[in-house]
Amino acid sequence: MKWLLITLACLQLSECAIRVPLRKGKSTRQYLKERGLLEEYLSTHSYNPYTKYTGLFNTESMATEPLSNYLDMSYFGHISIGTPPQSFSVIFDTGSSNLWVTSVYCNSPSCQNHKKFSPSQSSTYRATNQPLSIQYGSGSMTGTLGYDTVTVSGIAVTNQELGLSETEPGHSFSNPEFDGILGLAYPSIASSGVTPVFDNMMTQNLVQLDLFAFYLTRENDAYGSEVVFGEVDPSHYTGEIKWVPVTHETYWQISVDRITVNFQVVACDGGCQAIVDTGTSLLTGPKGEISSIQKSIGATPFYGGLYSANCFEVNIMPDVVFTINGIDYPLTPSQYMLQEQGTCLSGFDGMYLPSSGGGLWILGDVFIGSYYSIFDRGNNRMGFAKSVQF
Within 10 angstroms of residue 210's Cβ, the number of other Cβ atoms is 17
Angle at 186 between CA 185 and CA 191, to 5 degrees: 90
In the sheet with 320-324, reading across from the earlier edge strand, the strands are 264-267, 258-261, 320-324, 327-331
Catalytic option among 72, 93, 179, 376: 93
Cα(258)–Cα(16) distance, integer angstroms:
31
Cα(2)–Cα(176) distance, integer angstroms:
16
Catalytic option among 148, 179, 257, 277: 277
Cα(164)–Cα(113) distance, integer angstroms:
16
Q: Active site includes 210?
A: no
Q: Active site includes 93?
A: yes
Dihedral through CA 195, CA 169, CA 79, CA 71, nearest 10? -120
Contact 162, 146 (CB under 8 A): yes
Cα(229)–Cα(226) distance, integer angstroms:
10
Cα(97)–Cα(279) distance, integer angstroms:
11
- Of 135, 142, 145, 255, the closest CA to residue 193 belongs to 145
End-to-end Cα, the chain, rounded Å: 29
Exposure of 120 in the CB half-sphere (CA atoms within 13 A) = 2
Cα(67)–Cα(187) distance, integer angstroms:
24
Angle at 329 between CA 327 and CA 330, to 5 degrees: 140
Handedness of CA 67, 68, 74, 78 (dihedral sign): negative
Cα(73)–Cα(218) distance, integer angstroms:
9
**R_g of the chain computed on alpha carbons:** 21
Cα(331)–Cα(19) distance, integer angstroms:
21
Handedness of CA 303, 304, 308, 311 (dihedral sign): negative
Cα(3)–Cα(225) distance, integer angstroms:
20
Catalytic residues, which ones?
A: 93, 277
